[in-house]
Structure 1
Amino acid sequence: MKFGLYGLHRDRNVDPGVLARRAVLAEEAGFESLWVGDHIALPAGEGNPPRLEAMVALTYLAAVTSRVRLGVGLIVLPQRQPVLLAKQLTSLDVLSGGRLTVAVGAGYVEPELHAMGVSLTERGARTDEYLAAMRALWAAAPAFTGRFVSFSGVVQHPSPVQRPHPPIVVGGHSAAAYRRAVRHGNGWYGWGLDVEQTGQALHALAETARREQRPPALGDLEITITPPGPPGPDTVRRYADLGVSRLIIELEGIDDDAVDGVITSVGETLAAHF
């Protein structure tokens, strides 16, 4: 089992000193990965905490760490310009020495999507097309023609360190997300799922895999889950028995004064049991 940590891009962690200190603490504690989320403009009046933009936060994390993997999850793909995003993700992969994982989703916050020029009804189609366009750029294809994005006679250099590109993880609990994961993903990410809910989601994924053709080159689908709160060793084993490969611990809801202790204690659990 691998353990990730989610949330160093928001709340008090937007302070650069706090962010750097906790990133290094998590790396030294044995976390496999650090994950940041992607919201650009959320509805007003909902008590949203301050948060850093995902690409900027990951670049900072790449600079202050040396071993831990860096994950963006979920990046709301339809509200990003895919040619620019492909370049940003490649740059992150290069600057981090090949430590980047990219988790994508179609998004669900309609005011945010609208502010970025995307309708809720076309977000799924954009997600699929943008994935294809970024893969074309990473493969140095000089042209791509789609409904939402097209280019011709251009290439991007350098290439990502990880070939053919950083691992792509697909998030979401809808039938469309399951299909996208089976068809295109190196992994699938479930958010806020307990053991029983994870079992139900994995059953739905397995049923989808029976109907959809998965490219052999993608190999087995790696399963990542964010559980509802830090799990104990017995709960971790139950997730592992289901086939979960990575648990990402969420910092939201943990008092800020206790965050450092949670990071350390989870690291001690790692060392003692896994």
Structure 2
Amino acid sequence: MDFGLYGLHRDRNVDPEVLARRARLAEEAGFESLWVGDHIALPAGEGNPPRLEAMIALTYLAAVTSRVRLGVGLIVLPQRQPVLLAKQLTSLDVLSGGRLTVAVGAGYVEPELNAMGVTLSERGARTDEYLAVMRALWGSAPSFTGRFVSYDGVVQHPSPVQRPHPPIVVGGHSPAAYRRAVRQGSGWYGWGLSPDETAQSVRTLAETARGGQRPAGLGELEITLTPSEVPDLDTVRRYADAGVDRLIIELEGIDDDEVDGVIASVGEKLVGQV
């Protein structure tokens, strides 16, 4: 079982010194990965905490760490321009020495999607096409023709360090998300599920993969899960039994003066125990 840490892009962590210190603390504690989320403009009046933009936050994290993997999850793919995003992700993979993991989702906050010029009804189609665009660019294909994006006679250099591209993890609990994970992802990312709920999702993914829906070259689907609270060792073992490969611990809801202690505690009590 690997352990990730989610949330260093928001709240007090937007302070560069706090962000760097906690990132290094997590790396030293044995966390496998650091993850940041992707919201650009959330509805007003909901008490949203300050948060850094995901690409910028990951670039900073790449500079202040040396070993820990860096994950963006879930990036709301339909509200990103995929030609630009492919270049940004390649640059992150290069600058981090091949430590990037990309987790994508279709999004659900309609005012945010609308602000970025996307309708809720077309988010799924955009997500699938944008994944295809990025893979085409990472594969040096000089042209692409789609419903939302087309280009011709252009390529991007350098290529990602990880070939053919950084791992792509697909998040979400809908049938469409399960299908997308099985058909296009190296992994699936679930959020806030209990061990029993996770086991059901893993079974659903396995059922979806039957009948040759998963391309042979993608290998076994890696399962990532963010639980609703920091788990104890017994709960971690239950998640492992459910098929989870990586647990990502979320910082939201933890008092800021306790965050450093939680990072150290997870490293001491959980990392390497399962």
What displacement does 1:273 show?
Answer: 2.1
* Structure 2 gap segments, 5+ residues each: none
Which secondary structure does the structure 2 equivalent of 1:67 belong to? coil
Equivalent in the alignment of 1:206: 206
Equivalent in the alignment of 1:146: 146
Q: Give CA deviations for 1:52-95 in whole Å, capped at 9, x if unaligned.
A: 00000000000000000000000000000000000000000000
Equivalent in the alignment of 2:195: 195
Which secondary structure does the structure 2 equivalent of 1:74 belong to? strand
What displacement does 1:149 show?
Answer: 0.2
Equivalent in the alignment of 2:97: 97
Q: 2-side partners of 1:230 and 1:147: how far apart?
A: 42
What displacement does 1:212 show?
Answer: 5.4
What displacement does 1:116 show?
Answer: 0.1
What displacement does 1:200 show?
Answer: 1.5
Q: 2-side partners of 1:272 and 1:143: how far apart?
A: 46
What displacement does 1:38 show?
Answer: 0.1
What letter is aligned with 1:56? I
Equivalent in the alignment of 2:124: 124
Asked if structure 2 preserves the Cα contact closer than 8 Å seen for 1:138 and 1:159, the reply is: yes
TM-score normalised by the chain length of structure 1: 0.99
TM-score normalised by the chain length of structure 2: 0.99
Q: 1-side partners of 2:212 and 2:38: how far apart?
A: 29
Q: Give CA deviations for 1:100-121 in whole Å, capped at 9, x if unaligned.
A: 0000000000000000000000
Q: What is the identity percentage for the equivalent residue pairs of Structure 1 and Structure 2?
A: 84
Which secondary structure does the structure 2 equivalent of 1:273 belong to? coil
Which secondary structure does the structure 1 equivalent of 2:210 belong to? helix
Asked if structure 1 preserves the Cα contact closer than 8 Å seen for 2:223 and 2:245, the reply is: yes
Kindly report which structure 2 residues correspond to 1:241-260, keeping only aligned pairs within 5 A, or say none: 241-260=241-260
Equivalent in the alignment of 1:222: 222
* Structure 1 gap segments, 5+ residues each: none
Asked if structure 2 preserves the Cα contact closer than 8 Å seen for 1:38 and 1:74, the reply is: yes
What displacement does 1:272 show?
Answer: 6.4
What letter is aligned with 2:172? G
What displacement does 1:269 show?
Answer: 1.3
Equivalent in the alignment of 1:37: 37
Equivalent in the alignment of 2:239: 239
Does residue 86 in structure 1 map to residue 86 in structure 2?
A: yes
- How many residue pairs get aligned? The number is 274
Q: 2-side partners of 1:272 and 1:55: how far apart?
A: 29
Structure 2 vs 1, CA of residues 111 and 267 (structure 1 numbering), >3 Å: closer, same or farther?
same
What displacement does 1:244 show?
Answer: 0.7
Q: 1-side partners of 2:134 and 2:60: how far apart?
A: 23
Mean Cα displacement is larger for which, 122-131 or 203-212? 203-212
Q: 1-side partners of 2:75 and 2:273: how far apart?
A: 32
Q: 2-side partners of 1:106 and 1:272: how far apart?
A: 33
Q: 1-side partners of 2:67 and 2:206: how far apart?
A: 33
**Runs of 4+ with deviation above 6 angstroms:** none
